[in-house]
Amino acid sequence: MCQLGEAWGDTNCSRKIIGARYYAAGLDKANLKLNYMSARDMNGHGTHTASTAAGSVVEGVSLHGLGEGVARGGAPRARLAVYKVGWEEENGVYLATAAVLAAMDDAIYDGVGILSLSLVADDDSFGALHAVQNRITVVYAGGNGGPRSQVLFNTAPWVITVAASKIDRSFPTTITLGNKQTLIG
């Protein structure tokens, strides 16, 4: 099913994105200016995570000419079904548990193989269990915060929880001047 909406037409569904739905029940109408009333994300988070998981192969990618190579998602031949349940608000994200559970039920009905959920909430873990019982692999985000850096969310034993860490993302270049002084920048 390709549910049409604001900034999301029937051409947005393709051989790559084979389905799209959004769940806006309970959404405060005052926050609509922060969101597209459709499956499309406003801030790029969904697009980023989808391309990490299933982005097509792109040749000649670089960062300002450095490190040129090939970019691709983990499963570039995979197809995507999009289920938008999170909505930007002035001070965070509106996320209704009922919407998440409805999206999980739709994903089961649609026959997806993997659910990738960038959610930090344990309220819907039994919905995830229902998906797992229907032979769907469920992957959750570990979280982006907490009282300490070691805090982890989404720890139900039937899901895969993933997290990331930080590394130095600089691309240093060393220059040696005529007076033998070395500069790194």
User: Do residues 115 and 80 make contact, with C-beta atoms less than 8 angstroms apart?
Assistant: no
Extract the tokens encoding 182. Answer: 């070395």
Four-residue CA torsion sign, 58, 60, 64, 67: positive
Half-sphere exposure (Cβ direction) of 96: Cα atoms closer than 13 Å = 12
Four-residue CA torsion sign, 28, 29, 34, 37: positive
Instruction: Name the helix (H) or strand (E) containing 70.
Output: strand 66-71
> pLDDT value at position 149?
65
> pLDDT value at position 60?
94
The count of residues in the chain is: 185
> pLDDT value at position 99?
92
Query: Mean pLDDT per 10-residue run, the chain (185 residues)?
Result: 93 93 84 86 88 93 89 94 90 87 96 90 85 95 71 86 76 87 86
Q: How far is CA 119 from CA 4, 75, 87, 91, in A?
A: 24, 21, 12, 16
Spell out the alpha helix ranges (H) of 86-146. 97-110, 125-133
At 141, is the secondary structure helix, strand, or coil?
Answer: strand
pTM for the predicted model, two decimal places: 0.80
Backbone angles phi, psi at 182, to 5 degrees: -105, 130
> pLDDT value at position 75?
94
Distance CA 11, CA 13 (A): 5
> pLDDT value at position 127?
92
> pLDDT value at position 148?
66
User: Do residues 67 and 93 make contact, with C-beta atoms less than 8 angstroms apart?
Assistant: no
